[in-house]
Amino acid sequence: MFILLAFMYALLGLTFIFGSIAMHYAAPIFFIGMRMGTTAVLILGYLLVRRADYRIKREDIGLIVVLGVVHIFIPYVGEYFALGHMPAAKVSLIWSLGPFVTALFAWFFFKERMTRIKAVGLVIGILGFIPVVMHESAGEQALSSFLHVSTADLALLMIVTSASFAWNFFKHLLNKGYKPLVLNGWAMLIGSLLAFATSPFVEVWNPVPVTNWPVVLACMFALVITGGVICYNIYGYMLHKYTATFLSFAGGCVPFCTAFFQWIILGQVVSAAFMTSLCIIMVGLYIFYKEELRQGYIAHG
C-alpha cells in the first residue's frame, strides 16, 4: 500500500514540471480547461463504455457543482498563475501546507481528535513555510508583495485552503455512495467549463491563447495521464483506507520529487531557503504522522 502511495506522489511531483513548461506557451486558465475537459471526457466516457453508474442524484447536483469549483477551478487557476512566476519546486512546497489546513477541516467537520502532539506538529510545519515564502524568486519580484509575501504566494495559500476543504468534501460525497471516478469526472467537467467561460475575459487571445501547440498538447497529455487519470483516482481509492489528513501529510514527499525533476529536466537548482523550509516541514509532518498512527487513524502495514 505504501509503495502505491510513493508512486502516486512521485507522479504528482512530475506534474508541476509539465505545468511549468506549458505556462511558457499557453494562457493558464485556457490550459486548465483543455486539461480538465480532456480528462473528464476520458473518465466519463470510460464509465459509459463500462455501463457503470455515472449519474448524479438531483439533490446532489449543487454539491457536485461546489466540488467542481473548490476541487478543480479555484486550485488550478491559482496554481498555474503561481507557476508563471515562481519555480515549480516552490509551488510544490507551498502545496505542502495542505495537510495543516486539511487537519483543521478534518477536526472541525469529521471530529478527528486534535491532540497536543498533533498541534505541535502543525505549529512546526506552519513555521517551516516562513523561509521559502520570504525568499522571492526573480519572477515574484515583478509582482506586488506585502512583507516579502508575493501575490503568487497569496494565491497559493488561497488554493491550498480550497483544495484542503475539497478533499474533505470529496470524502463526504464518497460516504454518500459515489465512486471516486464519478466524482472526479463530473468535477473536472464543471471545472473545465468554468475555465473556458472565464478565459476570454481575463486572458489574451491573439488570435488563440496558445503559441506552441505541439509542446502544449504534449504537456496536456502527460498531465491527463499522470495527474488526472492515475493520481486523483488512486487518491480517491486511498481515502477508503486512510484519513484525508494522513494522505495529505504523506504528500510531504512531493516537493522532494519536484525538486529532483526540476533539476534533472529543467536544470534549475533549488534555493537554500527551499531546503530549510522542506526540512522543518518534514519534522512537523513526521510528528503528526506518528500521533495519527498512535491514535489508530492509520492502519499498520
Find the range with the poorest average confidence among 166-170, 179-183, 215-219.
Answer: 166-170
Give residue-wise pLDDT tens across range 214-250: 999 999 999 998 876 788 678 777 877 776 667 766 7
Whole-number average pLDDT of the chain: 84
CB 46 within 8 A of CB 229: no
pLDDT at 297 over 60: no
H helix or E strand, kind and range, residue 145: strand 145-146
pLDDT of residue 49: 95
pLDDT at 185 over 90: yes
Mean pLDDT across 176-185? 90
pLDDT of residue 229: 72
298 vs 65: CA distance, rounded Å: 31
Give residue-wise pLDDT tens across range 118-150: 889 888 988 888 888 776 554 544 444 555 566
Asked whether residue 281 is domain-assigned, the answer is yes
Grid coordinates of 198: 472565464
Asked whether residue 301 is domain-assigned, the answer is no
Other CB atoms within a 10 A radius of the CB of residue 300 amount to 5
Mean pLDDT across 196-201? 96
pLDDT of residue 219: 95
H helix or E strand, kind and range, residue 167: helix 151-175
CB 140 within 8 A of CB 150: yes
pLDDT of residue 141: 46
pLDDT of residue 74: 93
Asked whether residue 98 is domain-assigned, the answer is yes
Asked whether residue 70 is domain-assigned, the answer is yes
Q: Is the peptide bond before 207 cis (omega within 30 degrees of 0)?
A: yes
CB 259 within 8 A of CB 132: no
Asked whether residue 300 is domain-assigned, the answer is no
In 76-223, the DSSP E strands lie at 145-146, 149-150
Grid coordinates of 179: 465512486
Domain count for the chain: 1
| pLDDT-based confidence at residue 163 (cuts at 50, 70, 90) | confident
| pLDDT-based confidence at residue 178 (cuts at 50, 70, 90) | very high
145 vs 104: CA distance, rounded Å: 27
pLDDT of residue 301: 41
pLDDT at 94 over 90: no
Residue indicated by cell numbers 492502519: 299
- Which residue range forms the structural domain that includes residue 38? 2-295
Most confident of 65-79, 80-94, 281-295: 65-79
pLDDT at 155 over 80: no
